[in-house]
Structure 1
Amino acid sequence: MARNIGSRYTAHQILGRGSAGTVWLGEGPEGPVAIKLLREDLASDQELVGRFVQERTALLGLDHPRVVAVRDLVVDGNDLALVMDLVRGTDLRTRLDRERRLAPEAAVAIIADVADGLAAAHAAGVVHRDVKPENILLDMEGPLGPGGAHPALLTDFGVAKLIDTPGRTKATRIIGTPDYLAPEIVEGLPPRAAVDIYALATVLYELLAGFTPFGGGHPGAVLRRHVTETVVPLPGIPEELWQLVVQCLAKAPASRLRASELAARLRDVLPLLAGIPPLDVDEPDAEPTSEAQEEDPYPTGAAPAAPRRAAVPLVPGASPDSNRDTHTSMRVPAPDELAGGPLGTARAPRPSGARRPGSARHKAEAVRKRRITLSIAAIVVAGALGAGGYLATAGDSDVAPQDSKTSTQP
């Protein structure tokens, strides 16, 4: 059903839903547009509306081929909307869900496009703050690039900044998507351009591996991994590409490349990637989700195939969010939690092939070891009792049976 958005635009049908609002196919004075209608609770926040209007100049000023342009911002009654260019295609998450992982050449070509868009935004003083596959669109009508990749454009600039206002969040809260959050955000520092580089490198890793480097399990565990763990290497790609990934996933923001440098370096390694198929990488184990699983993950004795590590719901009672569209507010962990407090204990690098402590398989192995130990102990005790009875009767064979009984008489 069509609805008017302000006096200049008409929304005809829903194209998709996200954490911040609903995207509609619309029509404006200059033709088809995409209209992102923000959630009603955002539209009713007068402080947010004021900030929305203040950000108008910055958002409208982002003009780059690799950025989905914002044409207009509409504030009309309960409607708060961004009017954007219509990209005829799909988002990167949809392609990942379909293909699981991409060939390195196509993955690098897509990320190089996005890095170009980020470079333009950072030069204009704008930090995206929520780079993830859902916010990367693939233009199916554009010319194919290396590896058959469609042109990639970054969208939803400014939405994270708009939502993260002083009146809506506290200094001890985090705005973002757990899998893609830079360590400095987890530690409560203000977001700078380097957080976008970290998130983009996380997306590149996900395109290559099929999973994010630090994702999976409880959000608190994900946040801690960003701060304490090192990225697991990916076999089968040139060392030059791997070093780029490692550098852009550095814990220290100053160690990461700038967006323009990343785009140039990625295009330098593209010739090395031609013909390399998608990587064959084992996915990490999923974390147990209940006390019953922790006690006996495989009560029938047969261990099922390890499920794919994915996002978990951040709102109690909500269904798991397979698209990781979890842009939300979370508490900043305290230093002792990151080092091994209530959220868990910090872990030293484990030997190659060893199970991660706390994983379903690790706990299953522990359960099986406990059962074996108890069985052996039972056998030993039974044997000892049997042997003791034998020695008692054999050693006193000349004693009459009645002498072996305990008398109750005085």
Structure 2
Amino acid sequence: MARKIGSRYAAHQILGRGSAGTVWLGEGPEGPVAIKLLREDLASDQELVGRFVQERTALLGLEHPHVVSVRDLVVDGNDLALVMDLVRGTDLRTRLDRERRLAPESAAAIVADVADGLAAAHAAGVVHRDVKPENVLLDMQGPLGPGGSHRALLTDFGVAKLIDTPRRTRASKIIGTPDYLAPEIVEGLPPRASVDIYALATVLYELLAGFTPFGGGHPGAVLRRHVTETVVPLPGIPDELWQLLVQCLAKAPASRLRAPELAARLRELLPLLAGMPPLDVDEPGAEQPEDAPGAAEEPEPGPGPARSGEPVRRRGAIPLVPGARPAGSNRDTHTSMRVPAPDELAGGARGTARAPRASGAPRPGSARNRAAVRRRRVALSAGALALAAVVGVGAWLATSGDDADANPQDTKHSAPATP
């Protein structure tokens, strides 16, 4: 049975759920639409509803081929909804879950599309604030682009800003998804266009590597890494693409490229990336196969000890939004968190904790790595002992020969002494 949304729309079928609400397949006066129905606790917040209405003009005016357009904003009783264009396809997270990582050409083409959409939004004074694979839709109906990529569109504009009301977050909270948060957000500074560039560069890194550069573990640890650690090179990535990533992941917002520059630079690199296969790298902290040496010896650290028989999760599975389902990664959760204190952000080594490795190489500090180190030490010790033995025997023989020359009567065949 259809659910009425306002006076003009009907929601028929749930397409997906997120931490901010539920997306429905709906119908409007002009045909099929996607309807994002925000959570009831958000809809009951009168301050948020007022902000929702204030943002109407900016959101409705954002039109671009790489942006999912907002057609209408509905406030009706307990319903607070964004009515958007319906994209026939899937989201980038679903593709990543299926393929793990993309070929560099396809990854660059998708991110260039999203950068074009951000360029239009930033020119209109709109900052997305929650760029991540879940908010990138792939249009399966249109023609294929470079590397067989589908046209990418950025969705969920305005949701982060709507939720981030002064009363809800004040100056001590963070709105966003931990894996993609720019360091200035973690430090409590106001979000500007450069935070979207940092998040999009994180998405590009994830498309190439299969994991985010600073993700994994407890959300607090992820936030600290954004501030204190530098990104570590990916084995096998072309230097031109790597330098682009480094610039857009810079800690200083002013050092990052702007969205139009990022899109143009990525498209310039497409001929260089044509035909390259996906990178073959291991995620920092990834478990070894069951038959690998030391595979079951060292579970990854988590929020608590794993009980016997329970699977070990590689990433934090802590739901940050009350009532939300546990997520397999911090990348799945959009939420409000406490801003860490300066002393909390000061900890941690710079750029050493999550270095990617070429496929098959042991992780530093792992049981497999320690076993290899022990084998090398045993081999070196055995070699040193053998060398010492050889040197000792040689020295004894040389000493014995010298003594025989100096004292003939001491030798076994010496002549008896005359009386």
Does the alignment reach a TM-score above 0.5? yes
Q: Partner of 2:121: helix, strand, or coil?
A: helix
Aligned equivalent of 1:37: 37
Q: Partner of 1:168: helix, strand, or coil?
A: helix
Counterpart residue identity of residue 181, structure 2: L
Q: TM-score, normalised by structure 1?
A: 0.81
1:115 matched to 2:115? The reply is yes
Distance 1:362-1:177 versus aligned 2 partners, 3 A rule = farther
Distance 1:246-1:333 versus aligned 2 partners, 3 A rule = same
Q: Is the 8 A contact 1:115 1:259 kept in 2?
A: yes
Q: Partner of 2:22: helix, strand, or coil?
A: strand
Identity, % of aligned pairs?
A: 84
Give matches, 1:307-346, under 5 Å.
308-309=314-315, 312-314=318-320, 320-322=326-328, 324-340=331-347, 345-346=348-349
Distance 1:349-1:24 versus aligned 2 partners, 3 A rule = closer
Distance 1:312-1:11 versus aligned 2 partners, 3 A rule = same
Distance 1:346-1:354 versus aligned 2 partners, 3 A rule = farther
CA apart distance, 1:292: 4.0
Q: Deviations over 1:237-267 (max 9, x none)?
A: 2111111000000000000000000000000
Alpha-carbon distance between aligned partners in 2 of 1:217 and 1:356, rounded to the nearest angstrom: 17
Give matches, 1:8-407, under 5 Å.
8-285=8-285, 287-289=300-302, 292=305, 308-309=314-315, 312-314=318-320, 320-322=326-328, 324-340=331-347, 345-347=348-350, 349=352, 361=366
Q: Is the 8 A contact 2:33 2:85 kept in 1?
A: yes
Aligned equivalent of 1:384: none
Distance 1:87-1:56 versus aligned 2 partners, 3 A rule = same
Alpha-carbon distance between aligned partners in 2 of 1:238 and 1:220, rounded to the nearest angstrom: 32
Q: Deviations over 1:15-46 (max 9, x none)?
A: 11111111001110100000000110011001
Aligned equivalent of 2:294: none
Q: Is the 8 A contact 1:139 1:153 kept in 2?
A: yes
Counterpart residue identity of residue 314, structure 1: L
Counterpart residue identity of residue 64, structure 2: H
Q: Is the 8 A contact 1:114 1:154 kept in 2?
A: yes
Gaps of 5+ in 1: 370-410
Q: Is the 8 A contact 2:321 2:335 kept in 1?
A: no
CA apart distance, 1:194: 0.2
Range 323-332 or range 12-21, more displaced: 323-332
Q: Partner of 1:257: helix, strand, or coil?
A: coil
Alpha-carbon distance between aligned partners in 1 of 2:116 and 2:351, rounded to the nearest angstrom: 37
Distance 1:49-1:315 versus aligned 2 partners, 3 A rule = closer
CA apart distance, 1:314: 2.8
Counterpart residue identity of residue 58, structure 1: A
Q: Partner of 2:281: helix, strand, or coil?
A: coil
Distance 1:316-1:50 versus aligned 2 partners, 3 A rule = closer
Counterpart residue identity of residue 279, structure 1: L
- Tell me the C-alpha RMSD between the 2 structures: 2.7
Q: Partner of 1:121: helix, strand, or coil?
A: helix
Q: Is the 8 A contact 1:176 1:329 kept in 2?
A: yes
CA apart distance, 1:346: 4.0
Counterpart residue identity of residue 325, structure 1: D
Q: Is the 8 A contact 1:101 1:208 kept in 2?
A: yes
Alpha-carbon distance between aligned partners in 1 of 2:167 and 2:51, rounded to the nearest angstrom: 11
Aligned residues: 354
Gaps of 5+ in 2: 287-299, 375-419
Alpha-carbon distance between aligned partners in 2 of 1:263 and 1:290, rounded to the nearest angstrom: 39
Range 322-331 or range 130-139, more displaced: 322-331
Alpha-carbon distance between aligned partners in 1 of 2:110 and 2:130, rounded to the nearest angstrom: 17
Q: Is the 8 A contact 2:284 2:363 kept in 1?
A: no
Distance 1:72-1:315 versus aligned 2 partners, 3 A rule = closer
Q: Is the 8 A contact 1:338 1:346 kept in 2?
A: no
Range 306-315 or range 112-121, more displaced: 306-315
Alpha-carbon distance between aligned partners in 1 of 2:317 and 2:149, rounded to the nearest angstrom: 26
Counterpart residue identity of residue 331, structure 1: R
Counterpart residue identity of residue 336, structure 2: S
Distance 1:57-1:64 versus aligned 2 partners, 3 A rule = same
Q: Partner of 1:167: helix, strand, or coil?
A: helix
For the pair shown, the structure with the greater C-alpha radius of gyration is 2
Q: Is the 8 A contact 1:215 1:311 kept in 2?
A: no
Alpha-carbon distance between aligned partners in 2 of 1:65 and 1:317, rounded to the nearest angstrom: 35
Q: Is the 8 A contact 2:93 2:134 kept in 1?
A: yes
Q: Deviations over 1:273-293 (max 9, x none)?
A: 111001101111064125546
Alpha-carbon distance between aligned partners in 1 of 2:187 and 2:368, rounded to the nearest angstrom: 30
CA apart distance, 1:349: 3.6
